[in-house]
Structure 1
Amino acid sequence: MKNIILFLLLFTQCFYNYSQSYEFKTIVDMEATDVISQGNTGTCWSFSTSSFLESEINRLTGNFIDISEMYTVRNTYSDKSWNYIMRQGKAQFGEGGLAHDVLNSAEKYGLVPNSVFSGLNHSETIHNHSEMVVVLNTILDTYISKPSGKVSADWKEVVENILDVYLGKRIDTFTYQGKTYTPKSFLEYSKIKTTDYLTLTSFTHKPYYSKFILNIPDNFSNGSFYNLPLQELVDTVNKALQNGYTIELDCDVSEKTFSSKHGIAVIPADVKDEAVSLNKICVEKDITPSYRQKEFENQNTTDDHLMHITGIVKDQNGTIYYKVKNSWGSSSDRVTHGGYIYMSEAYFKLKTISITIHKSAISKNILKNLGI
């Protein structure tokens, strides 16, 4: 009889713990620029990394600067076009990119504030690159497929003219808060040193603590990733956030349990709980490195979205969630956290492709193991 009573008590407690509506307590919450929308574009990589750099500028200088996402996009399209032509069309050409593409653009072309380069022309108020991408693809493929087999030298000029029309011409100098800058001198003013940022990941098909090029479609620029054991990657994120560093995140958001409407991202242990888990706490799956690797290799985990981690919250059971700034627009709805997602640690473990972080936020021991 006692055993039955004990079982019922444990069952009731378990049911109570995992049938509650979410209640979150803020643990770490760092300031960030306003949530904005990437519109009808595939440029989350620029919006999220620009937001990340804006927080870095604030950390380094105490100032918030609204960086132009589209200045980076415009310059990256030039580089993508060159890569596509040189590889004779056998390369990724589209709207996607990664965090290191923003850093590469900043190093090569500098930064500008959004007030001097919005990327919106002809009285537009929402970014829409659907037509521009088709035009660019068509032009590049036409040059590649010329009967002579040789690409005309004027393709660069044609591409630049298209980008000028849709996004705006490159800027040589501009005025910001009463001072004149070039994009390169504005980068210096921001105190951002692009070489101070590292991209970390965790996969078992490469040795831990090695540096390698991750073969994913949007890595057109062949950026390198440092490989850490999964728990060390999680510990690095937690420590960085607790020490005042925000983090750029590349992850998969294709799961039914990633919901911008509900402002939640979780991995329930039982697939039957997928719908319930958007509103109520459910037991989550234990994510192992081998399971993570399997989901990556079978392409259930892909690099389809980049966002910006700015804090930590906990639910009433003590489960950690990351406060993640999205680029799908803001909302005053209490449930959606104003355009943020609360992502559980389990979701992060399974669905993260990589993070980008300032090297000073990484422990000395890990840097030593990475050979840095």
Structure 2
Amino acid sequence: MRKLLIITLLAMGSTMFAQNTKNLTEDVVNSIRDNYKQKSEADKGIRNALSNNDVRSLAVNRDVVGKADHQFKYKADVKGICDQKSSGRCWMFTGLSSLRPQIIKDKDLGGFEFSQNYLYFWDMFEKSNLFLEIILQNADKPLDDRTNEWALHNPIGDGGVWNSFANLVEKYGLVPNTVMPETYHSNNTSWLNQLLSRKLREDAMQLRDAKAQKMAPKKIDEMKYNMLCEVYRYLVLFLGEPPTEFKYRFEKEEAYKDYTPMSFFKEFFPNYKTSDYVMLMNDPSREYNKVYEIEFDRNVLEGKNWLYVNLPADELKKAALASLKDKEPLYSSCDVSKFLSKNDGTLDVNNFDFESLLGMKFGMDKATRIRTFDSGSSHAMLLVAVDVDDKDVPTKWQFENSWGSSYGHNGYLTFTDEWFNEYMFRIVVNKKYLSGEVQKMLDQKPIVLPPWDPMFAPEN
């Protein structure tokens, strides 16, 4: 009986103490200090090491060091590594890189790049127009309305996703890199973005005032037109003016040929249709086998919103494997910072052992990491290779990155199939590589999601 009473009192005391830990009172802090004293001697060596070293270097898992294997059974024919420098245009570089192999093969070139600056100009111009239209459409709502807050928080930016690339190519075509080369501010976009965002916010307030004063729609249209003229001039100052026509010749060709951006695109990609491609997502925080659309998540007013089919990871792998067997690379995106070893160019959940070093368990699954903002797609790269076992089951994959050839393994990143499960999110694949069941899903009416959802930050 006495033993039972003691246990009961201890339990009550523990509960009472727990109920008083809402605030970090002196008693609570002292109790936590006392709790740590029991571990402090054992932690001394770890504390000293962490005080003087990067935690990642201390957590390197020696079991995988030196075991990187960059050989693959199936690989697309790709040549050359691009460099997005200090910009958030990974999605654009990836989209353009998906087209490079065909033109390199057709023209027997040692290498080739499309002008990223050309598409960047039109991306910024179109995003400015879209922003002003969103402001006008929501001018009757208060500034703290969720849509207005979202728009004003980031009027424009150089991030994007697959549909951003598709919208631009369909409307503006393509030009070679030498026709509109990079500038300092296409390579280093922060100030261009910052100053243009400031001006667009100012324009937004003027348009809201005009609507509040019941100004005639024709007058408001004139205001917006003048604002866009100013934006165009601003972009020309930073990036140069995009060509409407140009002369160009390839290696080994003697004569120049006249092109427009659209005729150049159509000549070399006559059968290419962005509508032939679909984005597949692996987001276990949402229902699988459904089509989703992200409201306002586009760069061109009349363009396509972000649309995808949510599927288990194994379904993404099946489609990717089929595409790579045909030597067709895929636009893809992932949470690139997780378990990245830039020295050997690998992404492996076993690259770092933080749990053993810190004596701390990290147990969230992919769905929970998404819901709590711990993980999400942050970077787009071209998926170019896959290796398989003797049963044709994938064991590892490879990205072509856009951070220059000195990063990773000569510009490439190899990742394990396990890492694919945990941190790969999206691929864009030709519909011909989809199963009949997945193709039928494309007929669904999309479930519309808000652009401020944690999964839908632009990739950069």
- What TM-score bracket applies, with the shorter chain setting the length? 0.7 to 0.9
User: What amino acid is the match of 1:203?
Assistant: D
Instruction: Choose the corresponding residue for 2:159, options 93, 96, 100.
Output: 96
Instruction: Choose the corresponding residue for 1:302, options 370, 376, 395.
Output: 376
Aligned: 1:327 with 2:402: yes
Q: Figure out how many residues of one structure are paired with residues of the other and give that number.
A: 334
Distance 1:138 1:270, change over 3 A: closer
Deviation at 1:38, TM superposition (A): 0.7
Q: Distance in 2 between matches of 1:194 and 1:147?
A: 35
Q: Distance in 2 between matches of 1:110 and 1:39?
A: 23
Structure 2: tracts of 5 or more residues without a match: 1-61, 136-147, 211-219, 250-255, 445-460
Max radius of gyration: which structure?
A: 2
Q: Distance in 2 between matches of 1:169 and 1:308?
A: 29
1:34 corresponds in structure 2 to 80
Aligned: 1:253 with 2:299: no
2:345 corresponds in structure 1 to 263
Preserved contact between residue 265 and residue 344 of structure 1 (Cα < 8 Å) = yes
Instruction: Choose the corresponding residue for 2:410, options 338, 346, 364.
Output: 338
Aligned: 1:242 with 2:312: no
Q: Distance in 1 between matches of 2:68 and 2:161?
A: 33
Q: Distance in 2 between matches of 1:39 and 1:56?
A: 25
User: What amino acid is the match of 1:38?
Assistant: Q
Q: Distance in 1 between matches of 2:277 and 2:192?
A: 31
Normalization by structure 1: what TM-score? Answer: 0.79
1:232 corresponds in structure 2 to 315
How far does the alpha carbon of each residue in 1:275-305 deviate from its partner, in whole angstroms, 9 at most, with x for none?
9xxxxxxxxx9x9xx9332222212222211
Deviation at 1:21, TM superposition (A): 2.8
SS of 1:199 mapped into structure 2: strand
Q: Aligned Cα RMSD in Å?
A: 3.2
Structure 1 residues 26-175: aligned runs within 5 Å: 26-57=72-103, 65-88=112-135, 90-91=150-151, 92=154, 93-120=156-183, 124=184, 127-146=187-206, 149-150=209-210, 152-153=223-224, 154-175=226-247
SS of 1:347 mapped into structure 2: helix
How far does the alpha carbon of each residue in 1:51-96 deviate from its partner, in whole angstroms, 9 at most, with x for none?
1122355578877642111211111111111122222264242221
2:67 corresponds in structure 1 to 22
More helix by share: 2
Q: Distance in 1 between matches of 2:64 and 2:401?
A: 27
Distance 1:59 1:230, change over 3 A: farther
Q: Distance in 2 between matches of 1:229 and 1:369?
A: 14
Distance 1:187 1:220, change over 3 A: closer
How far does the alpha carbon of each residue in 1:123-142 deviate from its partner, in whole angstroms, 9 at most, with x for none?
x5981112211121111011
Preserved contact between residue 33 and residue 51 of structure 1 (Cα < 8 Å) = no
Using the aligned pairs only, state the percent identity: 24
Distance 1:321 1:214, change over 3 A: farther
Deviation at 1:28, TM superposition (A): 2.0
